[in-house]
Amino acid sequence: AQSVTQLDSQVPVFEEAPVELRCNYSSSVSVYLFWYVQYPNQGLQLLLKYLSGSTLVESINGFEAEFNKSQTSFHLRKPSVHISDTAEYFCAVKALGYSTLTFGKGTMLLVSP
């Protein structure tokens, strides 16, 4: 079985400041890793994914995440956030060959001017 820990339920930050949303996972088998984002009054959108290859993955809107196998982490970072980044961010894992996504509890990113 897999588990995902997002320790921070809320992260308040000022506009243009850097941010890191933490995600740690536990699994006895190899996994794929994902970050999903839910903007206010919208559904879940895939932000970025790690399937294989380079351990650093990037999204089109400036977020990046690095897969660290030894620390079983997949932290999400952005060097300078915008008001429009205010949303809830979910880290998720999926064991290779299985169908189930296991989600963390989510981190609400609150960006203020």
Among 19, 25, 31, 36, binds another protein (CB under 8 A): 36
Phi-psi region for residue 106, left (φ > 0), alpha (ψ -120 to 50) or beta? left
Q: How many residues does the chain have?
A: 113
Among 17, 44, 56, 110, binds another protein (CB under 8 A): 44
Among 57, 65, 90, 109, binds another protein (CB under 8 A): 90
Give the DSSP H/E element, type plus range, for residue 93.
strand 87-95
For residue 84, give every residue at least 6 positions away whose Cβ sits within 8 Å of its Cβ, in sequence order, or none.
111
**Smaller CB distance to another protein: residue 1 or 28?**
1
Rule CB under 8 A: which residues touch another protein? 4, 32, 34, 36, 42-46, 49, 51, 90, 92, 96-106
